[in-house]
Each structure stands twice: as C-alpha cells, then as structure tokens.
C-alpha cells in the first residue's frame, strides 16, 4: 500500500528570508510580515508568528495591517526566491529520505516513502527526524503520513503536532473532523460550503456527491475521491539537471521481470559512463518506473563507498526488482545517481610480496540495502577507561583511526547496555565474591581474578571526581565467566555505595 508524507512549512517565506539574511535578519520575536501585490493592491503574503498572534493574516490589505499594528515590520516578498529555495529543500529530501519527492507550493513538500520508511527506523522516527532536522536549521515544520496525498496534506496542516501518522485504511475516520480547507479547494468553494452549513471534511463526505458537484463543479468531487484513494493522484518527481541521470522510453510497455532486469543492466552501463566523465562514483541510486496508469514506483539502493562497478550496482538494483508491481506495463525507466562523490582510483596489488586486502564493500552494500544502512555498524575503540564509554558505533567501512583498547586486562565479548545489580557473598570487601545471584540464578564462584580499579573521568563531570569501581573476572561452577564490579572503595561515601554489579559476559 502506498504511503505519502506531506511536509508543511507554515512560516516558509519568512524562515527562508531569515536564513538568507543570516545575522542581519530581524529577531524571531519581531512582528514581521512580507508584502506583495495583487493587482494594484498591496497585501500581506506571509506573517511571522508574533504578528499572527497580534491579529494579522495572510491576504490582508497592508493598510489594514498597519491600522491593527502600527509598528509592524514589513519586507518585500520574493515568490521566485521562495520557489527556488523550496526546490532546493525538495532536492535535499530526495537525497536523504525517498526517491520520489516533489515541491507542494507555496509552503510544502510531498514525499512518497513507500518501502523507504524502514531505512529510517519506521514512520514515526522518520517523521520526527525530518521535523527535528529542519527545526535545527531554523525551519519550522509539521509532517503527516497517510495512504493518500490529500489525506496527508490535510493532516499536516490541521492535525500534526508536529507529526501525525494515519494508519493504513484509517483515512476517512482521521480526516473527518478536519476543516474543509484541508481539501485543497479554492476559497470561493470553501465559502460556499460554509454558507450551506458544512464545517468539516466529514460533513461533506456524509452527503450525496451529485448535488455538490452540480453546484461547485467537478474539482470538489475529484478532491474527495483523491482523499479517499478512489482516484489516484500522481505527481512528477523532482529531478535536478545537475544530477547524473539516464532514461529509457519504451515504444511498447514492458512488465516481465527478465525484461526489466535486462534494461536495468543497460541503464547502469550508461550511468557509469556518465559518472566516469565526471570522475564520480555513485553513493545512492534511484530507479523510477513510470507505469501506463500514470503512477510511479521506485527502487532506491545505496553504497557504503563511491562505486562505479557496473556488476555491483546492477546486482543491488536487480535484487529489488521483485518489489515492483508493473501493473498494466512500464513505459519509462529513469535511473539517477541522487548522491555521488568523487571516486579515487586505487592501484591493485603490483608485486608478489604484497598481500591483497579483502574487499567486503559488496557484502556490506547488500546487507545495508536489506535491513537499512543505519542498522549496520561496527564497534570502534574510544580512549576511555570507563568501559561503557570505551566503544562507539561507526560505519562498517569507516577508516581505522589507529585507536586500540588497552591490553593489560581482558575485556568481555559482551558488555551489557547498563550494569545490572547482583547479590554477592564475599569474605572481605577487597576479596572477590564467593557466590552471586543474577537474574534469579545463584552461581558459585570457582575462580576469580582482580581487582582492576577504574576511576571516574573527573575532567568530564564533577560527580566522578571520587568515583571508583573494582572489577573482578569470575568463573562459576559450569565454566561461564563474568565481569563484576563493586562500586566505591569502602572508605569514602562519595566514591560509591559499595554495591555489586554485573557488567559483562566473556565468550
């Protein structure tokens, strides 16, 4: 089932203006409006949140705005610059979130995330991350996801706070209480519906369609059908002419997987030639399938490093062909390198004494495209004596920075996410435990080694100035080995409570 995201940017022209002006922009708490022309009249085209709270509205004549708020700050609107910036934002979303993205002027984007949300940790994490990333850049946004563009558009503007997720099949129930403005119909139709007593989308859906269409024209009926998914609503994906892209137009629609795979191979060959001319390697490929019913389906694959290997790229794309439903046929295939980076060629092994390095990049790419690149990582050492801070996640093929773990004391193969409290019997505080109970199981210690004393990192937090841990490696009667520690030195209360914890398990 298709899933569509609508991204709403309530203060887009003003947020865009502040970003372009930088330090010289008016403060966020200023009552600022942008002014444009409608015929011979000067009207308000955008309103800052403080000015909106003061009663100013988009479409209001400038003379009325000055009468309501004499000290209002006005600046000229620039619709051309706003549209260009919206296109750049759509290109950013294309490179980071999904292969099918289009501007939704004047203040939004529409993103088809079908089959792409799992790469970002699910729909909720994807929407939250999108809104937060824009907020960190000074762009206020709200986002909603639904089965149709119309439902997502309405929810983003009248329901999202700051995100809204409409479950598959629940479109009608969720959009019913939303205002009629969410239908994307002209203001005169909205006014006419209000005169007739309609206030919400549910009110319009509950009455027979024919009298409304007869009075207000076919647009109202079409919007209602698009909202419910009865009528499809395709949109043209954004494509930047600066991106390396190739296209194949078919005289007769194709649909067989073998035919799609054959033309995929041909497109990859053409794209690699184009990338070679630019000295680039692909990091992300989008293969779009334009069907005869005017809908678009897509395959997105990524690589850990810049790649121009035709066989590898063809394999990654071919593995995803089974997810494409050709319907009544595909008439256009469009392959684009939405993310490309300079490709540095490396010399192969040139002598008998050089050892060939194993190349696992192909395996990493296959796994990452199946489970999501964010879920694939490796652990790397960090210079820290505190065990839980001595590792961090890095990309699978990240270069080695030369850092290593200290080798004086062995470390467990499995380190728990956080130390778990245990019950311990020990002869003296400085002695290793003779027995301990963990997760309801009592274990008798046969062998032990320690203690290894680890101090807190006092230069990071004052609370760790006197913190102490004494670690012991212990082996129980069944041969299992564990990593335990006692907090504190039994002399200073600030060093720890003297409690015992289990922190790791040896292989």
Distance CA 226, CA 220 (A): 10
Distance CA 295, CA 391 (A): 46
471 Cβ partners below 8 Å, 6+ apart? 409, 450, 451, 452, 453, 454, 483, 484, 485, 503
For residues 166 and 144, the answer to whether their CB atoms sit within 8 Å is: yes
pLDDT, the chain, mean: 88
Q: How far apart are CA 287 and CA 335, in angstroms?
A: 4
* pLDDT value at residue 390: 82
- Look at the alpha carbons of 250, 253, 254, 260 in this order and tell me if their dihedral is positive or negative: positive
Q: What pLDDT does 29 receive?
A: 80
Q: Can you point out the beta strands (E) in 292-396?
A: 296-307, 330-342, 378-381, 391-394
Higher local confidence (pLDDT), 12 or 428: 12
Q: Shortest CA distance to 393 belongs to which of 413, 404, 383, 379?
A: 379
pLDDT, average across residues 460-470: 82
Centroid of chain to Cα 109? 15
Structure confidence by residue, pLDDT tens digits, 20-32: 888 788 888 888 9
CA-wise closest residue to 111 among 66, 84, 144, 140:
144
pLDDT band at 383 (very low <50, low <70, confident <90, very high): confident
Helix (H, G, I), strand (E, B) or coil at 14: helix
CB-based contacts of 419, cutoff 8 Å, min separation 6: 485, 501, 502, 503
Reduced to 3 states (helix: H, G, I; strand: E, B; else coil), residue 395 is coil
Evaluate the CA torsion angle 13, 14, 15, 21 in order and state its sign: positive
Q: How confident is the model at residue 356 (pLDDT cuts 50, 70, 90)?
A: low
pLDDT above 70: residue 465: yes
Q: Is the pLDDT of residue 406 over 70?
A: no
pLDDT tens-digit series, residues 480-491: 999 999 988 766
Other beta carbons within 10 angstroms of residue 294's beta carbon come to 10
Tokens read off for 186: 């002209």
Whether residue 122 contacts residue 79, with contact meaning beta carbons closer than 8 Å, is answered with no
Q: Indicate yes or no: pTM above 0.95.
A: no
Pairing of strands 32-38, 73-76: parallel
Task: Record the tokens describing residue 500, joined without a space.
Answer: 């015992």
- In this prediction, residues 353-361 reach a mean pLDDT of 67
Cα 294 from Cα 236, distance rounded (Å): 10
* pLDDT value of position 347: 61
Q: What is the pLDDT of residue 491?
A: 61
The pLDDT score that the predictor gives to residue 443 is 93
What whole-number percentage of the chain has pLDDT above 70?
93
**Residue 475 to residue 42: CA distance in whole angstroms:** 82
The C-alpha atoms of residue 20 and residue 287 are separated, in whole angstroms, by 34
pLDDT in tens, 65-107: 999 998 899 999 999 999 999 999 999 999 889 899 999 998 9
CA dihedral sign of residues 420, 421, 422, 427: positive
pLDDT for res 490? 65
Question: Which residue intervals of 176-256 are DSSP H helices?
Answer: 187-195, 201-205, 209-216, 218-228
* Diameter of the chain measured on Cα atoms: 93
Residue 496 pLDDT > 80: no
Least Cα distance to 433 among 490, 475, 467 occurs for 475
Tell me the percentage of the chain whose pLDDT exceeds 90: 53
Predicted confidence (pLDDT) per residue in 128-180, tens digit: 999 999 999 889 999 999 999 999 999 999 998 899 999 998 998 999 999 99
Cβ neighbourhood burial of 447 (10 Å; 0-12, 13-18, 19+): exposed
- Cα separation values, 252 from 128, 255, 331, 429, Å: 42, 10, 7, 83
Averaged pLDDT for residues 103-121:
86
| Cβ-contact 133, 139 below 8 angstroms | no
Q: What is the mean pLDDT of residues 19-46?
A: 87
């Amino acid at each position: 089932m298709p899933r569509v995201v609508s991204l709403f940017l309530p203060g887009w022209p003003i947020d865009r203006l502040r970003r372009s002006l930088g330090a010289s922009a008016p403060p966020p708490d200023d009552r600022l409006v942008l002014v444009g022309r409608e015929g011979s009249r000067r009207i308000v085209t955008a309103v800052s949140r403080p000015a909106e709270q003061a009663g100013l509205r988009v479409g209001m004549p400038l003379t009325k705005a000055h009468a309501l708020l004499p000290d209002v700050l006005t600046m000229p609107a620039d619709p051309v610059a706003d549209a260009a910036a919206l296109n750049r934002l759509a290109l950013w979303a294309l490179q980071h979130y999904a292969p099918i993205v289009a501007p939704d002027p004047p203040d939004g984007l529409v993103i088809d995330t079908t089959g792409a949300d799992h790469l970002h940790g699910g729909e909720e994490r994807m929407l939250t991350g999108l809104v937060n990333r824009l907020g960190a850049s000074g762009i206020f946004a709200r986002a909603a996801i639904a089965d149709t563009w119309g439902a997502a558009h309405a929810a983003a503007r009248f329901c999202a706070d700051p995100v809204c997720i409409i479950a598959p099949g629940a479109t009608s129930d969720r959009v019913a209480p939303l205002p009629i403005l969410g239908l994307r119909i002209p203001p005169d139709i909205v006014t006419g519906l209000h005169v007739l007593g309609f206030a919400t989308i549910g009110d319009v859906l509950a009455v027979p369609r024919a009298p409304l269409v007869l009075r207000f024209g076919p647009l109202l009926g079409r919007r209602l059908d698009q909202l419910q998914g009865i009528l499809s609503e395709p949109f043209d994906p954004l494509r930047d002419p600066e991106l390396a892209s190739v296209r194949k137009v078919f005289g007769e629609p194709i649909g067989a997987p073998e035919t799609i795979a054959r033309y995929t191979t041909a497109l990859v060959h053409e794209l690699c030639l184009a990338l070679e001319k630019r000295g680039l390697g692909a990091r992300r490929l989008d293969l779009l399938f334009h069907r005869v019913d005017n809908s678009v389906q897509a395959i997105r694959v990524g690589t850990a490093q810049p790649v121009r290997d035709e066989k590898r790229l063809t394999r990654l794309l071919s593995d995803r062909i089974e997810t494409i439903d050709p319907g009544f046929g595909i008439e256009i295939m469009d392959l684009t390198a939405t993310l490309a980076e300079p490709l540095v060629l490396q010399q192969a092994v040139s002598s008998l004494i050089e050892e060939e390095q194993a190349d696992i990049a192909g395996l990493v790419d296959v796994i990452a495209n199946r489970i999501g690149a964010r879920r694939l990582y490796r652990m790397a050492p960090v210079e820290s004596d505190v065990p839980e801070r001595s590792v961090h996640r890095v990309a699978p093929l990240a270069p080695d920075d030369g850092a290593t773990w200290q080798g004086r004391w062995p470390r467990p193969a499995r380190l728990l996410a956080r130390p778990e409290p245990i019950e311990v019997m020990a002869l003296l505080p400085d002695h290793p435990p003779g027995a301990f109970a963990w997760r309801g199981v009592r274990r008798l210690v046969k062998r032990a080694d320690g203690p290894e004393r680890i101090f807190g990192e006092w230069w990071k937090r004052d609370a760790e100035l006197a913190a102490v841990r004494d670690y012991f490696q212990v082996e129980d009667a069944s041969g299992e080995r564990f990593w335990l520690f006692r907090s504190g030195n039994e002399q200073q209360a600030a060093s720890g409570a003297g409690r015992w914890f289990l922190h790791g398990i040896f292989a």
